[in-house]
């Protein structure tokens, strides 16, 4: 039966349906001012900042994203030069170093103020260091202070009197720090947020300063001494800071504010950039790198970054307990192809662990990529052409680039060496657990330098070191690293590192793959933002140059 009466009313219905669909899009019609255009006018910087910050308390957090925000709210003894990150005066306007290079005396400026008007004193730094080293706070970055005399002992409940730790408040504006060893990279250590001062009175107002759970980091409560103050914090939405009226160097600060957007997904971040919502992104998704390099080369920035991507090898289980198998695997990788065809982010193939040029150190021992030699080693170990070698498990945590590299390597090892590899993807926590308990065979790892010195890359591999996680132990290596720590002469020290890294490369408890670069997108009006190897950009030098160039239509 056909219900064909009153076709008209139904036709009318369909028509109105179509109109309604169009109407629902109407509020969007027409070009509007983009967010960056508005922000340029107001001199507000819009930053894509990755994940939502866990907190903004410098003694408790560990992430890079949190650090980026805290850099605007707090300032340490030293600050950094925006171009090459060398230490420049921060709260400390000058400092003296003792001849044995173990005692640093900092002279604080008199006009440094907290955002509530109180002056910043040496005591504020002393209180902060006491807080971060107090075991009950459970700070994960307390180890940054272990170069200081007795700091480790205090943190691990060895001693209970903080006055025995190598910090001394000489007077309101003088702080003295005593180290265990001459540590040439000490000043760049101070750039890290674990060395920031704390307004302990504010922390105490909202909770116990030596326990977690003090809710002092909210807007309206937060007291910092940096160029900006916290004005808004909406979880998973935005963190906003505004120029501080009490900062001692406020004359130099040109931005009126910064908005940090926690955008987790790289694809969403890239789209936001294209839609004119961000001035600078944190990263760029793999698939878009070529697109920007070809179409908008002035917007994509590829800069060196202090980090190495490598695979850890569990040396406690056969067949990987045999050094020759490890070396064979390391030699059979075509790093150039990986970097050029897969990663495309201008990364450098890594033939050793420490990135070249780290504080003037470039390792001379290089891994050779040599298929013939690799095959010979594998055969010598008893597995000619991979026969008899059980399937090796390659573990990685969930991220697209990790997976892509693992897939490529799996094929390389199969075709070149006849080695069968099975890929295992675990989510982050499980992956950490598996790694720590040495339940893996090969697993993906990386290390971003905490400070600009080869030590941060090389002291990981000490016997029983917390970041070793391979079961590798070499007494000679341990001895060399300890020797380096005690060597005062910088050149000699680097030579010791050369010897140590030579051992590391020979034993291959880790297979270096590539050196990181930092790839991000930046709008042309962003100025004062220089490429640095730690990706630190002191905000007081940043500004937005509003001229015709800014109206770049991005399609």
Report the site for other proteins in 230-289 (rule: CB under 8 A): 234-237, 261, 263-265, 267-268, 271-272, 274-275, 277, 285-288
| CA–CA–CA angle 266, 56, 208 (5° rounding) | 150
Q: Is 3 in the site for other proteins (CB under 8 A)?
A: yes
CB nearer to other proteins: give 218 or 317: 218
Q: Give the separation between CA 91 and CA 198, rounded to whole angstroms.
A: 13
The correct pick among 22, 171, 316, 428 for binding other proteins (CB under 8 A) is 428
Minimum distance, C-beta of residue 140 to other proteins, in the bound complex (Å) = 5
* Contact present, 238 and 105 (Cβ < 8 Å): no
CB nearer to other proteins: give 3 or 220: 3
Q: Is 307 in the site for other proteins (CB under 8 A)?
A: no
What DSSP string runs through 267-296? HHHHHHHHTT--SB-S---HHHHHHHHHH-
CB nearer to other proteins: give 364 or 555: 555
CB nearer to other proteins: give 201 or 403: 403
Give the DSSP letter of residue 415. H
The correct pick among 425, 473, 483, 498 for binding other proteins (CB under 8 A) is 425
Residue 410 structure tokens: 């799996």
The correct pick among 117, 429, 547, 548 for binding other proteins (CB under 8 A) is 429
The correct pick among 161, 466, 475, 548 for binding other proteins (CB under 8 A) is 466
**Could you identify the residue written with the tokens 């983009």?**
34
Minimum distance, C-beta of residue 254 to other proteins, in the bound complex (Å) = 25
CB nearer to other proteins: give 161 or 427: 427
- Residues in contact with other proteins, counted by CB under 8 A, come to a total of 97
Q: Give the separation between CA 101 and CA 408, rounded to whole angstroms.
A: 48
* Contact present, 127 and 190 (Cβ < 8 Å): no
The correct pick among 94, 157, 163, 368 for binding other proteins (CB under 8 A) is 157
Kindly report the backbone phi and psi dihedral angles of residue 26, in degrees, each rounded to the nearest multiple of 5, phi listed first.
Answer: -60, -45
Kindly report the backbone phi and psi dihedral angles of residue 4, in degrees, each rounded to the nearest multiple of 5, phi listed first.
Answer: -110, 5
The correct pick among 44, 61, 331, 480 for binding other proteins (CB under 8 A) is 61
Q: State the SS3 of 319-337.
A: CCCCHHHHHHHHHCCCHHH
CB nearer to other proteins: give 3 or 117: 3
Q: Give the separation between CA 192 and CA 424, rounded to whole angstroms.
A: 35
CB nearer to other proteins: give 156 or 370: 156
Q: Is 510 in the site for other proteins (CB under 8 A)?
A: no
Minimum distance, C-beta of residue 169 to other proteins, in the bound complex (Å) = 25
The correct pick among 36, 47, 50, 57 for binding other proteins (CB under 8 A) is 57
Cross-strand partners of 103? 178
* Contact present, 176 and 105 (Cβ < 8 Å): yes
The correct pick among 138, 318, 382, 388 for binding other proteins (CB under 8 A) is 138
Q: How many CA atoms lie within 13 A of 273 on its CB side?
A: 27
Q: Is 190 in the site for other proteins (CB under 8 A)?
A: no
Q: Is 142 in the site for other proteins (CB under 8 A)?
A: yes
Among 512, 45, 396, 14, residue whose Cα is nearest residue 255 = 45
């Amino acid at each position: 039966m056909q219900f064909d009466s009153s076709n008209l009313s139904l036709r009318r219905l369909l028509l109105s349906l179509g109109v309604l669909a169009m109407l629902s899009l109407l509020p969007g019609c027409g070009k509007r001012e983009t967010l960056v255009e508005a922000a340029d006018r107001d001199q507000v910087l819009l930053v894509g900042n990755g994940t939502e910050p866990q907190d903004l308390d410098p003694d408790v957090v560990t992430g890079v994203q949190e650090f980026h925000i805290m850099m605007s709210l707090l300032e340490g003894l030293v600050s950094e030069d925006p171009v090459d990150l060398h230490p420049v005066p921060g709260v400390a306007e000058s400092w003296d170093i003792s001849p044995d290079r173990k005692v640093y005396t900092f002279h604080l400026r008199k006009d440094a103020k907290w955002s509530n008007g109180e002056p910043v004193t040496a005591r504020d730094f002393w209180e902060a260091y006491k807080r971060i080293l107090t075991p009950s706070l459970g700070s994960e970055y307390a180890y940054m202070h272990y170069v200081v005399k007795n700091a480790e002992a205090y943190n691990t409940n060895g001693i209970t009197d903080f006055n025995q730790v190598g910090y001394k408040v000489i007077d309101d504006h003088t702080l003295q720090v005593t180290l265990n060893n001459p540590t040439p990279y000490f000043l760049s250590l101070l750039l890290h947020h674990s060395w920031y001062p704390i307004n302990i009175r504010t922390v105490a107002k909202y909770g116990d300063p030596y326990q977690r759970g003090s809710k002092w980091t909210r807007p309206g409560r937060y007291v910092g001494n940096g160029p900006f103050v916290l004005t808004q914090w909406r979880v998973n939405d935005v963190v906003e800071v505004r120029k501080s009226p009490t900062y001692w160097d406020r004359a130099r600060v040109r931005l009126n504010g910064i908005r940090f957007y926690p955008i987790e997904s790289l694809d969403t971040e890239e789209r936001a950039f294209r839609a004119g919502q961000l001035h600078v992104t944190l990263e760029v998704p793999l698939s878009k790198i070529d697109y920007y390099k070809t179409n908008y080369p002035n917007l994509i920035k590829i800069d060196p970054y202090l980090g190495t991507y490598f695979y850890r090898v569990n040396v406690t289980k056969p067949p990987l307990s045999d050094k020759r198998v490890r070396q064979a695997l390391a030699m059979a990788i075509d790093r150039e192809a990986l970097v050029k065809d897969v990663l495309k982010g201008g990364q450098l193939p890594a033939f050793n662990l420490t990135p070249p040029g780290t504080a003037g150190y470039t390792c001379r021992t290089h891994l050779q990529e040599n298929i013939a030699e690799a095959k010979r080693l594998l055969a010598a170990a008893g597995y000619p052409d991979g026969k008899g070698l059980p399937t090796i498990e390659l573990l990685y945590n969930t991220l697209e680039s990790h997976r892509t590299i693992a897939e490529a390597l799996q094929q390389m090892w199969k075709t070149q060496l006849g080695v069968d590899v099975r890929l295992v993807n675990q989510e982050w926590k499980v992956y950490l657990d598996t790694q720590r308990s040495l339940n893996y065979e090969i697993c993906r790892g990386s290390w971003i330098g905490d400070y600009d010195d080869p030590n941060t890359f090389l002291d990981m591999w000490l016997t029983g070191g917390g970041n070793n996680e391979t079961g590798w132990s070499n007494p000679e290596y341990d001895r060399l690293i300890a020797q380096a720590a005690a060597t005062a002469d910088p050149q000699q020290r680097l030579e010791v590192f050369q010897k140590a890294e030579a051992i590391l490369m020979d034993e291959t408890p880790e297979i270096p793959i590539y050196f990181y670069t930092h790839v991000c997108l930046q709008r042309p009006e962003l100025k004062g933002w220089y490429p640095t190897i730690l990706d630190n950009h002191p905000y007081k030098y940043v500004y937005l140059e509003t001229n015709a160039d800014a109206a770049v239509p991005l399609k």
